[in-house]
Structure 1
Amino acid sequence: MAWRSSGATNEALIENLARHGLITSSRVKQAMLGVDRAHYAPSSPYQDSPQSIGHAATISAPHMHAAAAESLLPFLKPGSKVLDVGSGSGYLTHVLAELVKPGGRVVGVEHIQPLVELGTRNTRKSEEGRELMDAGGIRYVKGDGRLGWAEDAPYDAIHVGAAARDVHPALVEQLKAPGRLFIPVQEGNYQHIYVIDKKEDGSVTRKKEYGVQYVPLTDAPKD
Structure 2
Amino acid sequence: MAWRSSGTSNATLIENLWRNKLITQPLVKSAFLAVDRGHYAPSAPYDDSPQPIGHDATISAPHMHANAVETLLPFLLPKTSAGEKAEGVGDLVGEKGRPRRVLDIGSGSGYLTHVLAELVGENGVVVGLEHIPALKELGEKNMRKSKEGRHSLDTGRVRFRVGDGRKGWSEPKPTISQPGVGGPANGDAEGEVRKDEEGGWDAIHVGAAAVELHEELIRQLRSPGRMFIPVGDGGGWEQYIWTVDKDEKGEIRKERLYGVRYVPLTDAPK
Residue type of the alignment partner of 2:253? T
Q: How many residues align?
A: 222
Structure-2 separation of matches of 1:7 and 1:116: 28
Return the letter of the residue paired with 1:72: L
Mapping for residues 156-171 of structure 1, pairs under 5 Å = 156-171=202-217
**Equivalent-residue separation in structure 1 for 2:76 and 2:133 (angstroms):** 27
**Paired residue secondary structure (2:268):** coil
5 Å matches for 1:71-90?
71-78=71-78, 79-90=99-110
> Where does residue 243 of structure 2 map in the other structure?
195
Partner residue, 2:143: 123
What does residue 184 of structure 1 align with?
Answer: 230
RMSD of Structure 2 on Structure 1 (CA):
1.0
Match for residue 69 of structure 2? 69
In proportion to residue count, which structure has more helix? 1
* Higher strand content, 1 or 2: 1
Tell me by how many angstroms 1:121 deviates. 0.1
Supply the AA of the counterpart residue of 1:69.
V
Identity %: 64
Q: Which of 139, 145, 164 lines up with 2:159 in the alignment? A: 139
1:28-81 deviation per Cα after TM superposition (whole angstroms, max 9, x unaligned): 100000000000000111000000000010000000000000000010122311
Query: 2: distance between equivalents of 1:24 and 1:59?
Result: 22
How far apart are residue 151 of structure 1 and its match? 2.8
Tell me, which stretches of 5 or more residues in structure 2 are unaligned? Answer: 79-98, 173-198
Shift of 1:167: 0.7
Secondary structure of 2:171 counterpart: helix
Q: For 1:1-223, list aligned pairs within 5 A.
A: 1-78=1-78, 79-152=99-172, 153-187=199-233, 189=236, 190-222=238-270
Deviations 1:122-156 (A, max 9, x none): 01100000000111110000000000002353010
Q: Deviations over 1:145-172 (max 9, x none)?
A: 0000023530100000000000111110
Q: Which amino acid aligns with 1:54?
A: G
Structure 1 stretches of 5 or more lacking a match?
Answer: none
Structure exhibiting the larger radius of gyration computed from Cα positions? 2
Task: Tell me the TM-score normalized by structure 2.
Answer: 0.81
Instruction: Give the Å deviation of 1:6.
Output: 0.3
Aligned residue type for 1:143 = G
